[in-house]
Chains A and B, each alone.
Chain A
Amino acid sequence: MTEPLIFEHSRAGRYARAQAPNVRAELDLPPSLLRKSAPNLPEVSELQAVRHYTRLSQLNFSIDTHFYPLGSCTMKYNPRACNKLAMLPGLVDRHPLAPASHSQGFLQCMFELQEMLKSVTGMKAVSLTPMAGAQGELAGVLMIRAYHHARGDHHRNEILVPDAAHGTNPATATMCGMSVVELPTDADGDVDIAALEKAVGPNTAGIMLTNPSTVGVFERKIERIAKIVHAAGGLLYYDGANLNAILGKVRPGDMGFDVIHMNLHKIFARGRGGRGPGSGAVGVGERLKPFMPIPVVAQEEGKYRWLDERDLPQSIGRLSAFMGNAGVLLRAYVYMRMLGHDGMKRVAEFATLNANYLAARLKAAGFQLAYPGRRASHEFIITLKRLARDRGVTAMDVAKALLDYGYHAPTTYFPLLVPECLLIEPTETESKEALDGFIDAMCDIMERAVRDTEQLKGAPYTLPVRRLDDVRAARKLDVAWRPDSAA
């Protein structure tokens, strides 16, 4: 099944007439400023647009249609109410610069969200403004930098990052003008403490950690790590990518972290929207409070208002034109209220139960776990290096084969330090039946890998397209349709 480009449905002079003013108003502009030829936008009817984009949607896998065990991405069910209520009139059409007199309903939701996030993370204050996890990271590292600079420690410009970390961690540190010092991971998946002790020093600005880590296990020596880094004068940054695993069980603030970002869009169930929008709210400890990105909501005498540059003069500043991804924050607010404090804990419990069950069953079926001696957190890694060696079947081949069974592939080739790996995260919203179906598919694939290797390596066979030629895509860049490029 394929669908032509929208441009191929286009005919000159057609458009959705109900959607634009009846006439083109006179312009009071000098001709020299005006466009000479119209842009190449499609000319289609409303039905044609609706049908085209509905058909395109049907070419996608999504949580609403498929199990999506994508490790480190927490692809859980997005309750419909979250979306519907965030789009209520009054919220969806509120101008970001509307005065406080016309914003109390919205501001109250934001204030309460800040308070709930403080409680669930154990941090002292929260700013909701970063627009994605990566921007939350940026805010976090900028705050660490601002903290050291405010103390005159301008030389502290090294950020320690475990080698298993998300790629954004080192990329963010670089963006903040820091240099990156990589830390090795020990055989059990924990940070190598001896290497850490050697790496810290007078130039240490901080360390960026994910806990549970990207290899799907809880960093057991976290208290020791915090002590070592703090003793060296550095701060601890918590990458909240895996927060789902520990909600209501253990809090980053109690582990000794000074700053944390939360991926509200995934942990608190706002749809992923084919990659974005996200929200990367940050939480801070006492020391970093003055440096929080603005604006932040405050409550004064029963009224709510924004705190800005005047209230937080040491702030790292603004990261977006207004206050961040308000719509995502509203969805997170609705979700957290529906879960309540007990529900929060159950998220961690059942995410962990599902992951450990899947890990145990796959191990029993002959799959090799990367860290067999450890409890899985909410995700775990299997390595297919034996299969790759013996049969030439790679993690990518298995990932593609899963698509034919109607399962989205787990995360492949991350973290980089485990060869031929699949990082699997089932989330708490999947039923046992869904997990059992996935296990059956994995076993079937394994059997086919031995019986008919070549056939398996050609997968997928049942999707709108087969494997795509990435080399061609990069060498002969075709990134925009033009009228003259029509076939």
Chain B
Amino acid sequence: MAFIPHTQGDISEMLAAIGAASINELFDEIPESLRVDDLPGIPEAIGEMEITRLMQARAAQDRGALCFIGAGAYEHHVPAAVWEITTRGEYYSAYTPYQAEASQGTLQLIYEYQSMMASLTGLDVSNASLYDGASAVAEAALMAVRANRRSKSRRILVPRTLSPVYTRVTSAIAGTQGISFERVDFDVATGTTPLAALSEWEGEDITALVIPQPGFLGCLEDVDALTDWAHAHGALVIAVVNPLSLALLRPPGEWGQAGADIACGEGQPLGVPLSSGGPYFGFMTTRMAHVRQMPGRIVGRTEDLDGKPGFTLTLQAREQHIRRSKATSNICTNQGLMVTAATIYMSLLGAEGLARVAAASHANTRQLADALCTVPGVDRAFATPCFHETVLKLDRPVAPVLKGLAEHDILGGFDLSADYPELGHAMLVCATETKTAEDIASYGRALSTVLKQLKVA
């Protein structure tokens, strides 16, 4: 009976109250011709013990490798307290806080989260989160079109240093709404977006410029120059940032003369496990002037009937359940549970702890690159400053090397050759604070072995 509590006696009493002879009779409005009796594709039920054995076996198959892949998802230490508390039933099994009086815990937590994200990004106001980093960029693009009332062009400039998959997701989600996403080239020597690449759009009506920091290639962009260029052209600035990096780097709100207008990105580095790509959460912050154009839910502090402080969803009239076809977005849920984890994570780490995690990741990646570049045939692609990812060039195709490394249980990095063919045999590597000197050394040894073997073959 799985999770159904009814006894035979309950069923009889309930059917009597309804006035039905059987449970099947309750389905008598469904046309006979449509009814099915069996679901052949679904196996017999198994108990918790059996499914535990099965899942343990499946999980064991995928265990044990050292991971040096980043490319948008980062392995960080997650304090035990984060998920112990996040999976408490009162968070895990609650729902959208429409009844504010019965949801003060979730609402206050989101208010605290909004406060932390606003401060981290140097902007005024945060929403309660979006699905993930990629879809957050799509939502930011749509928001920029609504918020920049002076621009009529619906043209958004997207540098090639933005994650290629973010670019694809943005087109898939926002591409049917008459927005033109135009690609800005990068400098193969520096891995960043030079001002000169924008000269093509000099003097034109541009709605927004996307600025990733760090870029997908790990390099840090000249965000001040790019921001000022955008503002001089009447364009809004959409900053796409790694939230962990903001423990060290200048926040979007302080870029250039006036600061970015919207900041967004992937929240996963803040206490959310890798988990095969999700659930993660997208974050978004902006200036107060644009708050009504921001998609997603927002919690505000107010007072109750007795004048006592309390929290409630606010600015709901912009949302799909009220505004329907005129809503700012079709989005309903945020990633509530992930935000719970991130808020607890940021509270445990504080500004100093977060800065230490970020600095350790930065230093480890530098050490990794140093170690790997001692292997013949491996070199750095760029001399530009990086946060915690960097591009290495190999003297041969990357895919067989990564395959060879995987046989040594080293997940060696992300192959860039499909998305950035002009970089040649290039791969993106990352070593977060979780990697020890010995981890880095074993990657070096494995790479050396693999390159030798491949040469022989």
Contacts and interface: CB of A to CB of B under 8 A. Distances in A.
Interface string A15-45: 1111111011111111001111011111110
Interface string A447-482: 000000000001010011111111011101111111
Given A7-B112, A478-B300, A250 B34 contact: yes
A341 B38 contact: yes
A367 interface: no
Nearest to B9: A432
Interface string A420-442: 00000000111110000000000
A460 B14 CA distance: 31
A92 B275 contact: yes
B11 A50 contact: no
Interface in A318-364: 318-328, 334, 336-347, 349-350, 352-354, 356-357, 360-361, 364
Nearest to B125: A479
B68 to A, nearest CB: 9
A135 interface: yes
Q: Which of B26, B248, B275, B366 has the most CB of A within 10 A?
A: B275
Judged by DSSP, the binding face of A is loop
Given A94-B275, A170-B325, A342 B45 contact: yes
Interface stretch (B81-89, B146-154, B197-205, B443-451): B81-89
Interface string B8-23: 0011011101111001
A94 B58 CA distance: 12
A327 B34 contact: no
B17 A361 contact: yes
Nearest to A256: B34
A428 B5 CA distance: 8
Contacts, number: 684
B131 A21 contact: no
A78 interface: yes
B305 interface: yes
A338 B48 contact: yes
B211 to A, nearest CB: 13
B51 interface: yes
Contacts of A340: 2, 42-46
B91 A57 contact: yes
Interface string A54-75: 1111111111111010100101
A271 B176 contact: no
B13 A432 contact: yes
A73 B93 CA distance: 12
B46 A467 contact: no
A91 B60 CA distance: 8
Nearest to B127: A479
Interface in B24-56: 24, 26-31, 33-36, 38-48, 51-52, 54-56
A66 B311 CA distance: 21
Contacts of A145: 176
7 contacts: A2-B309, A20-B354, A24-B356, A41-B350, A56-B104, A138-B173, A223-B33
Q: Which 5 A-B pairs have the closest CB atoms?
A: A119-B41, A322-B277, A340-B45, A64-B89, A273-B337
